[in-house]
Amino acid sequence: MTTPTLLVLGTDPLPRLGRLTGRVRVEYADESTLAARLPSADVLLVWDFTSHAVRAAWPGGGPRPRWVHTASAGVDHLLCPELAASDTVVTNARGVFDGPIAEYVAALVLAFAKDLPRTLTFQRERTWRHRESRRLAGTRACVVGSGPIGRAIAGTLEALGVTAALVGRAPRDGVHGPEDLDRLLARADWVIAAAPLTESTRGMFDARRFGVMQPSAYFVNVGRGQLVVEEALAEAVRRRWIAGAALDVFETEPLPPDSPLWRLPGLVVSPHMSGDTVGWRDELCAQFVELFELWAAGRPLVNVVDKQRGYVPGH
């Protein structure tokens, strides 16, 4: 039996795939070498999920890997028309980030409700300023994105006494459709963006949507930066159309040092870290090895992405 070739589009630290030793030929590529090495690969592991190299390299000539796995929940960084039209199977890291992102969102919601950002500011200024904070119990959240991450966020918030409404691509049991979004935004104390990036979600949070929200509402984006029109968000926070916001993802990453978002009062900026907890890379490696076992045995893979929709269906 021919030893399959696994091509890793990677950056340090590289994945530890010890269980595959002797069973697969591992080669490595970066953005400059990916196109030349794709034709010889049976499997492509997109370890560097911040790279858009696959989109650029895939349309070239020659054979292509039969299976592509990305160590991320989103797949917008690698899908291109040629890959979408091919018979290559694409899988993602669904399941690894759900709990950590939900915890991160809960931490942000608690921080906003209890006014922790200003507490830290006043401490640095040695200012004693008593305030009253908000109760979470009885407030409402609108979670946009009904996949595993969105559901985990809703469940975690509900454990804190928040009533959470999920909004997905289409209405179904326990999930609202897009036609309900504006109505839910108008009632929400917390608006959480956790949707995949598709043509229908790109720029969905614009000036009109921020205008629908309550002046007391907070907005959190842990989905994709391109879900949000950043200029509109900045204007909404600056003019107090909403109470504040937290962004973990951005249109351009890393966020440029001269971006006005860094200095915008009422905005919490974090460097795309909501799902990254201690040991997360080991979890991603273990997940890939389990998927490889299925692939090598000729069994159906899990976490298979619908390449036309841009996410794993069935949730």
Residue 315 designated active-site: no
272 is known as an active-site residue: yes
Peptide linkage before 117 cis (omega within 30 of 0): no
E strands, the chain, where? 5-9, 25-29, 43-46, 67-70, 89-91, 140-144, 163-167, 190-193, 218-221, 244-247, 267-269
> Is-catalytic flag, 230?
no
Among residues 69, 151, 176, 224, the one annotated as catalytic is 224
Distances (CA, A) of 224 to 34, 69, 89, 232, 311: 25, 19, 23, 16, 13
- The 10 Å CB-count burial string (b at 16+, else e) for 34-47 is bbebbeebbbbbbb
Annotated catalytic residue within 158, 253, 290, 293: 253
What is the rounded CA–CA span in Å between residue 266 and residue 65? 46
Which position among 272, 281, 309, 315 bears the catalytic label? 272
46: which strand partners?
9, 70
- Catalytically annotated residues: 224, 253, 272
